[in-house]
Structure 1
Amino acid sequence: MIKLQGVCKSYGDEVTIGPVDLEIPRGGVTALVGPNGAGKSTLLTMMGRLLKPDAGSIEIGGHGVGTTPSKELARVVSILRQENHFITRLTVRQLVGFGRFPHTKGRLKPEDEEHVSRAIDFVDMHGLEHRYLDELSGGQRQRAYVAMVLAQDTEYLLLDEPLNNLDLRHSVQMMKHLKRAADELGRTIVIVVHDINFAGHYADRICAMKDGRIVEFGPADDVMTRDTLTRVFDTPVQMVEGPNGKLAVYY
C-alpha cells in the first residue's frame, strides 16, 4: 500500500499541493489524472522521494519514504521522471542495466543480466538492445527508460507520463505492457497520464486531481462519469459507450 497523510508542498506563499490524504492499495495500475498544474507530477515526485514535502508523511510498502535509507527504499520503489537526459552515449542494454544498480552497485552478475534481458523483452526492444540511445526515436527511448525501471525489480513503480513521445500505437502497447506488469508480475504501478480515456481503459483505479487537491479517487468506472470529469477539467464532458467500455468526449 501507498499511504499519504497530510502531505503538503508550498511554493512561495501559496500552497500548491495538499493537504493530501490518500491510500493506494497494492497491485494494479493507478492513474493520476487532471488538468495541467493540478499537482500530479509533484505528488508522484514526492512519493518517490525526489522532492521533500513541507508537511505530512508518505509510506510505501510499510517503509517511510522520508526515513528509510536510500539503498533500502530503492529495492522497494522505482521512479521514472519526465526529464530523462543521459549525456553519456549508452546502448539500450547499458541503460536498462542501470536499473540493477541498487542490487549490484554496477557489477552485474548473470542473474542481473537475466533481469535486464527480461525487461528489454517485456517492452519489445530485443532487436534494439545494442543500439545507442541517440540513434532511437523519442518513443523508443521512452520504452527503454521504462525497461530500466522494470529491471530494478521493485514491487512499486512510479511513472511520470510514460506515454511521452509515443504515438497512438505505441501508447496502446505501453499501457498493455504496464497492465501486464501489474497483473502478471504483481507490480503496483502509479502513473501520471494526460489522456483520460487511456486511464479509463487500462487503469484499475483513477485519482483525479485539481488545484493540488484530490477531487475523486476510486475504481476507474466510478471516476469516469460526466459530472466528475466536467468538474475536474472545467469543460463539458459527455460519456459514451465504446466497444471496450466508457469513453469521455469533450465538446
Structure 2
Amino acid sequence: MIRVTNLGLAIDGKTILHDISARIPPQGLTAVIGPNGAGKSSLLYCLSGLTRPTSGQVSIDGADITAARTTDRARMLALLPQVTPALPRLTVADLVAFGRWPHHRGRPNDTDRRIVAQAIRDLDLDDLLDRRLDTLSGGQRQRAFIAMNHAQSTPWMLLDEPLSALDPRYASDIMARLVELSRPGTGRAIVVVMHDLAMAVRHADWVICLKAGRLFRSGPPSETLTGAGLSALFDTPIHVEHLRGRPVVIID
C-alpha cells in the first residue's frame, strides 16, 4: 500500500500541495483526477520519490520512498512522465528492453529477455519491434513506453496522463490494457493521472480527487465519481447516468 501522510509541497515559495493524507490500495487501478492546476502531477512525482515533499511523507509498504536508494526505487515503481523523451533513433524493441535495466544493470539473461517478450505481447507490439519511435503514431508510441514500464516488473506503475492527445480508439485500447495489467493476482497496482472522466468512471477501482492542491475526496468510485461529487470538484454541473449497463458522464 502507498500511504501519504500530511504531504506538503512548495516550489519557489509557492505552495503546490497542502497537507494531503491518503492511501492507495496495492492492487487495481487508481485514478487521480481534478481541475487543471490541482497538483495531480506534483502528487505523482512525490509518490515516485523523484520530488521530495516539503513536509509529510510517502511510504510504500511502510518504507519512506525518499529514503530508498535509486536502484531499489526503480525495482519498486515505474514512472511514465506526461512528456516522454525524444529518442528518434531508438526502436520499439530497444525501448522496451530498457525496462529491465534496474534488474540486470547491462547484463540481461534469459529471464530478462522472457519478460521483455511478454511485455511486447501484452501491449501488442510484435509487428512494430523494428520501427523507430519517431515513425510511430501517438498511440503506438504510448503503448511502447507503457510496455517499457511493464517490463520493469515493479509492483507499482505511475502514469502521468497516458491518454493525453490520443484519439478515442487508442485511448480506449490503452486504458483496457492498463486495467488488465492491474487486476488482482497480477502483483501490480497502477496509478493514473487523468482528465478523461468517462474513462475514470468506467475503469477506476479507487479514486483520489484533488482541488487547489488539497485532497478533495478519496475512495471507491461509488463514493467519489458521483454527479454531485464531480460537480463540486469541477465547479460545473456534471451528471453520471447509465447506458447499456455502463456509467456515462454528462456535462451540462
The alignment's TM-score, normalised by the length of structure 2, stands at 0.96
Tell me the SS of whatever aligns to 1:75.
helix
Question: Is contact 2:88–2:134 with CA below 8 Å preserved after alignment?
Answer: no
1:226 aligns with 2:227: yes
Tell me the SS of whatever aligns to 1:53.
coil
Question: Is contact 2:88–2:133 with CA below 8 Å preserved after alignment?
Answer: no
1:236 aligns with 2:244: no
Residue pairs, 1:157-236, within 5 angstroms = 157-183=157-183, 185-236=186-237
Residue 19 of structure 2: aligned partner: 19
Tell me the SS of whatever aligns to 1:66.
helix
Shift of 1:216: 1.1
Residue 92 of structure 1: aligned partner: 92
Q: Provide the C-alpha distance between the structure 1 equivalents of 2:235 and 2:104, rounded to a whole number of angstroms.
A: 48
Letter in 1 for 2:203: Y
Q: Provide the C-alpha distance between the structure 1 equivalents of 2:245 and 2:34, rounded to a whole number of angstroms.
A: 22
Residue 121 of structure 1: aligned partner: 121
Residue 139 of structure 2: aligned partner: 139
Question: Is contact 1:142–1:164 with CA below 8 Å preserved after alignment?
Answer: no
Letter in 2 for 1:243: R
Q: Provide the C-alpha distance between the structure 2 equivalents of 1:21 and 1:97, rounded to a whole number of angstroms.
A: 36
1:65 aligns with 2:65: yes
1:5 aligns with 2:5: yes
Structure 1 spans left out of the alignment, 5+ residues: none
Shift of 1:148: 0.4
RMSD (Å), alpha carbons: 1.3
Please say which of residues 181-190 and 1-10 is displaced more in the overlay: 181-190
Residue 156 of structure 2: aligned partner: 156
Question: Is contact 2:16–2:42 with CA below 8 Å preserved after alignment?
Answer: no
Q: Provide the C-alpha distance between the structure 2 equivalents of 1:29 and 1:105, rounded to a whole number of angstroms.
A: 29
Please say which of residues 90-99 and 55-64 is displaced more in the overlay: 55-64
Shift of 1:232: 0.7
Question: Is contact 1:200–1:221 with CA below 8 Å preserved after alignment?
Answer: no
Letter in 2 for 1:121: R
Residue 28 of structure 1: aligned partner: 28
Q: Provide the C-alpha distance between the structure 2 equivalents of 1:46 and 1:242, rounded to a whole number of angstroms.
A: 37
Shift of 1:197: 1.3
Q: Provide the C-alpha distance between the structure 1 equivalents of 2:17 and 2:158, rounded to a whole number of angstroms.
A: 18
Structure 2 spans left out of the alignment, 5+ residues: none
The alignment's TM-score, normalised by the length of structure 1, stands at 0.96
Tell me the SS of whatever aligns to 2:182.
helix
Question: Is contact 1:63–1:73 with CA below 8 Å preserved after alignment?
Answer: no
Tell me the SS of whatever aligns to 1:208.
strand
Q: Provide the C-alpha distance between the structure 1 equivalents of 2:10 and 2:213, rounded to a whole number of angstroms.
A: 10
Tell me the SS of whatever aligns to 1:118.
helix
Question: Is contact 1:123–1:143 with CA below 8 Å preserved after alignment?
Answer: yes
Identity of aligned residues (%): 37
Question: Is contact 2:33–2:40 with CA below 8 Å preserved after alignment?
Answer: yes
Letter in 1 for 2:106: G
Shift of 1:181: 0.7
Letter in 2 for 1:159: L
- 1:125-169 alpha-carbon deviations (Å, 9 max, x no partner): 111011110111122111100000000000111111111232111
Q: Provide the C-alpha distance between the structure 1 equivalents of 2:61 and 2:106, rounded to a whole number of angstroms.
A: 26
Any runs of at least 4 consecutive aligned residues in structure 1 with deviations exceeding 4 A, and if so which? none
Q: Provide the C-alpha distance between the structure 1 equivalents of 2:222 and 2:198, rounded to a whole number of angstroms.
A: 11
Number of equivalences: 251
